[in-house]
C-alpha cells in the first residue's frame, strides 16, 4: 500500500522500478500489486506550501515483497483408506524467494521429524487412523498443513502351499486321528477328511 498524506502536495506521481510515472492523489492509498522480489518506488511532487513555486522533492522507497512458501502434498490422500502396511509420504515446499526454510512432520502428534523441502519417504504403519501434520518456517512466515487417512490391511486366511507339511496318522484310523502340521509362517488352516466311502 502506498499513500501520500500531505495536503500541500500537488502533481504527485510515482513510478515503480523506473517504469512510467502514474498520478497519485494525496490522502488516497493505492494497491500496487507487486510481485515477489526487490522493488524501487520513486515518488515526486510539488510543494505549494513553500514560497518557492518551483520547489519539488522526490523520495525513493526500497523494499522486498515476500510471499509465504506453499506446501504441495502428493501422497497420501486426504481420507483415503489404504489396504497395506506401507504408505508413501510425498510433499514439496516451494518458496519463490529461496529463503532458508526449516520443515518437519509428525504422525498423530508424535516426535517431529526434520525434513528437506522435497520429501519422498515410505512409512510402515499398523492398522489404524493417522494424521500427518507438516510445518515449515522461514524468516517471516510460519505455516502448516495436515491430512488424515486410514491404514486397514485386511486379515485373510492364506492357503497352504506345497512347502507346508501335513502328517496324518495312524492309517487306518480306528478312533483318533492325529494331525501334525509344519509351516514357516503362522496361519489358520482348514482340512476336510473323508472315509473310504466318500463321507466327510
Cell of 61: 522507497
Q: What are 75-85's pLDDT values in tens digits?
A: 999 999 998 88
pLDDT tens digits along 6-20: 666 677 788 888 888
Q: Which phi-psi region, left, alpha or beta, contains residue 140 (left: φ > 0; alpha: ψ -120 to 50)?
A: alpha
Q: What is the 3-state secondary structure (H, E, C) of 120-151?
A: EEEEECCCEEEEEEEEEECCCCEEEEEEEEEE
Between the alpha carbon of residue 145 and those of residues 98, 109, 135, 150, 162, the distances in Å are 20, 13, 7, 18, 50
pLDDT at 93: 93
Domain limits, the chain = 9-65, 70-151
Q: Which fold has domain 70-151?
A: Immunoglobulin-like (2.60.40)
pLDDT tens over the chain, length 200 residues: 555 566 666 777 888 888 888 887 767 777 777 766 677 777 777 665 554 544 444 555 566 667 788 999 999 999 999 988 899 999 999 988 788 899 999 999 999 999 999 999 999 998 899 999 999 998 888 899 999 999 987 655 445 454 567 777 777 777 788 888 777 767 677 777 777 667 77
Amino acid at each position: 500500500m502506498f499513500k501520500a498524506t500531505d495536503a500541500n502536495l500537488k502533481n504527485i506521481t510515482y513510478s515503480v522500478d523506473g517504469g512510467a510515472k502514474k498520478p497519485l492523489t494525496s490522502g488516497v492509498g493505492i494497491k500496487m500489486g507487486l510481485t515477489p522480489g526487490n522493488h524501487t518506488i520513486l515518488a515526486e511532487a510539488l510543494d505549494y506550501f513553500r514560497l518557492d513555486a518551483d520547489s519539488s522533492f522526490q523520495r525513493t522507497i526500497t523494499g522486498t515483497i515476500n510471499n509465504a512458501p506453499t506446501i504441495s502434498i502428493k501422497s497420501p490422500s486426504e481420507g483415503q483408506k489404504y489396504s497395506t502396511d506401507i504408505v508413501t509420504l510425498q510433499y514439496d515446499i516451494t518458496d519463490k524467494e529461496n529463503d532458508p526454510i526449516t520443515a518437519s512432520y509428525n504422525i498423530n502428534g508424535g516426535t517431529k521429524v526434520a525434513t528437506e523441502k522435497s520429501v519422498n519417504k515410505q512409512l510402515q504403519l499398523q492398522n489404524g487412523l493417522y494424521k500427518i501434520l507438516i510445518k515449515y518456517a522461514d524468516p517471516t512466515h510460519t505455516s502448516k498443513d495436515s491430512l488424515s487417512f486410514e491404514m486397514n490391511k485386511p486379515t485373510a486366511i492364506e492357503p497352504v502351499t506345497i512347502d507346508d507339511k501335513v502328517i496324518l496318522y495312524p492309517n487306518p484310523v480306528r478312533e483318533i486321528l492325529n494331525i501334525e502340521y509344519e509351516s514357516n509362517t503362522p496361519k489358520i488352516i482348514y482340512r476336510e477328511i473323508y472315509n473310504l466311502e466318500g463321507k466327510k
